[in-house]
Amino acid sequence: MCQLVKMDGDFKSDQDGETASLSIGRVYPEDEGEYTCIAYNRLGKATTSACLIVDVPEEKESLVNQKLSKPSCLGSAGSTPRSTPGTTPTRSVSPCVTSELHYNGVKRSSRRLKTSSPKFYSVPHNKVVEEGETVRIQCSAAGHPSPWSTWDKDGILVSPSARIRIAERDDLRYLEITEVTAEDAGLYRVTLENEYGRVEATARLDVIGRNGRRPRAVRAWSAPRCVPSFTRRLIGSTAQVGGTFSLACDIHAAPPPVTSWYRNGELLVRSDRVIPTWDGRTARLEVENVTVEDSGVYTCVADSPMGSTRCSARLRVIETDDPGDADLRPPVVVAGLPEETAAQEGRPYELQIRVKGSEPMEVVWVKDKVEVPDCDDMRYVDYGDGRYGLRIADLFAPDAGEYSCEIFNEHGEAITTTNLTVIDDGFSEDNIELRPQALWFTRTPAPLTTSCGGSAKFSARVSWLGPNAPIFKWEVGSNPVTLQSHRFKAKQLYN
């Protein structure tokens, strides 16, 4: 949670014309974290952030632990020392970053670096926290290509969840845990790896009871448990015969529940047509090739040792040729995202889909299960004819990942997903046949107003990888343009 910095004691703020600064007279370990400067006027606001990492020398570790009321039985053996080399910068951003673009907390450098193996600018610090607090274990690193990171606890891989967030920002890699429990205590390890090497570092997380109370050993404590509850419930849906529909709900529970689905009270068994999934937060049911018999009341049941809960919604199945149901149609993906797609680094790229269904519809783009904000770097595009796009202004390696487009209206929802691979500038075109969907619009047609009887001209520019030029087709209101007509003319120019 963001907190306003109080300008007293060691904290001082100053503004000289267009330059604003924040000074900290004496830095303490608790000052570590992300600092954000917000500038605003009547027309809007802008923000920029930087992370401060506090390096604690070994000789001060015992004093810090005493101030944190750390129990003597909680040692730090086996973890990376808190101290880092004397050259470790206090800020996590390395000096090699020259120009940056911001998206979803990731800054992307436009400077090309020489290849190098991963290395740490600063290693994770040991942490002692109270139950219920939020803790962040972080490090800063460098390497080119940018190394990917993995986290494990006591040798077991850590995955993101409702409480655990794993993120990267510039050179910063961090793991953040909210509502810490005693079971979160342990030895955490971060591993950085790229094509040229691998490094790792560890830090121990110790958890103490509130106000320092520790009635028995840490390992004997039990994590807080709760009965399953729905944070997002099912909504009624409408599906077309022969189409696909999905129902989804979000569930919070500790320990994780077992989910099951029922239709009209009968248990649904997984098959080629009926696909239930559970990712630790969202329970989803997808049914393909819908028939009239699929209509009815669908119920999701979440069971755990703490209890059980359920929610239900009704599915209505309509005939595809019934004009009376024109206003009751759920979203249907006509042209979805390909399973795999690739694009070249440093160029613009657009993901595009086509859907049909009753208006109004809401479209949300998601990358690696995190909603993509509509901003200059990642622009939502609505073409007004059932086509929706996500336009990436300048593609960089951190943009690679799993992208999903989720479409909603009051009668249902639909989703389409792709894995985007970012091809390095040095990629050879000899293997381009292994990279599907290697073309993208660098310029799209712009809206145009003209008088009746006048002329209109639309243009588009396309880039692609490989030796074969793409085939262009134009449509008007989803209908192909007949170029034999004297009213329409099309021309293609190649650079």
Domain 229-325 has CATH 2.60.40.420: no
Res 67: pLDDT: 45
The least confident of 79-93, 110-124, 247-261 is 79-93
Q: Strand runs (DSSP E) across 255-338, as ranges?
A: 258-263, 266-267, 274-278, 282-287, 296-304, 307-318, 332-335
CA distance 30 to 54: 8
Residues 6+ apart with CB under 8 A from 265: 299
- CATH class, 11-220 region: mainly beta
Looking at every residue in the chain, the average pLDDT score rounds to 76
pLDDT-wise least confident of 130-139, 178-187, 328-337: 328-337
DSSP 332-361: EEEE---SEEEEETTS-EEEEEEEE-SSP-
CATH 2.60.40.10 segments of the chain: 11-220, 229-325, 335-480
Decide if pLDDT at 272 tops 60: yes
Give residue 428's pLDDT band: very low, low, confident or very high (50, 70, 90): very low
Written as one letter, the residue type at 9 is G
- Report the C-alpha dihedral over residues 394, 399, 404, 408, rounded to 10 degrees: -50
> What distance lies between CA 411 and its chain's CA centroid?
26
Task: Give the per-residue pLDDT at 322.
Answer: 59
d(CA 222, CA 181): 8
> What pLDDT was estimated at residue 261?
94
**pLDDT tops 90 at residue 305:** no
Average pLDDT (445-468) is: 74
**Confidence class for position 112, pLDDT limits 50, 70, 90:** very low
Query: Taking a C-beta distance cutoff of 8 angstroms, is the pair 343, 420 a contact?
Result: yes
Nearest-angstrom CA–CA distance, 203 and 417:
36
Residue indicated by tokens 């952030």: 49
- Concatenated DSSP letters for 73-114? T---TTS--S---TT--SBSS-TT--SEEEETTEEEE-S---
Please count the other Cβ atoms lying within 10 Å of the Cβ belonging to residue 24.
14
Residues in the chain: 495
Q: How far is CA 85 from the centre of its chain?
A: 33
User: Is 141 in contact with 97 (CB distance < 8 Å)?
Assistant: no
What band does 320 get if pLDDT is binned at 50, 70 and 90?
Answer: low
Q: CATH number for the 335-480 domain, one of 3.30.70.1150, 3.40.830.10, 2.60.40.10, 3.20.20.150?
A: 2.60.40.10
Mean pLDDT on 12-29:
83
Per residue in 374-390, pLDDT (tens digit) is 888 888 998 888 899 99
Phi-psi region of 482 (alpha: psi -120 to 50; beta: other; left: phi over 0): beta
Give percent above pLDDT 90 in the chain: 10
Q: Check whether 104 has a pLDDT greater than 50.
A: no
CB 380 within 8 A of CB 388: yes
Please report, for residues 249, 281, 287, the alpha-carbon distance to residue 263 in angstroms, rounded to integers and kept in the order given.
Answer: 16, 22, 12
CA-CA distance, 426 to 429, in Å (whole number)? Answer: 9
The pLDDT of residue 300 is: 93
pLDDT score of 403: 92
Amino acid at 132: G
Inter-residue contact 407 to 331 (CB < 8 Å): yes
**Between 365 and 145, where is the model more confident?**
365
What is the structure's pLDDT at 221?
Answer: 38
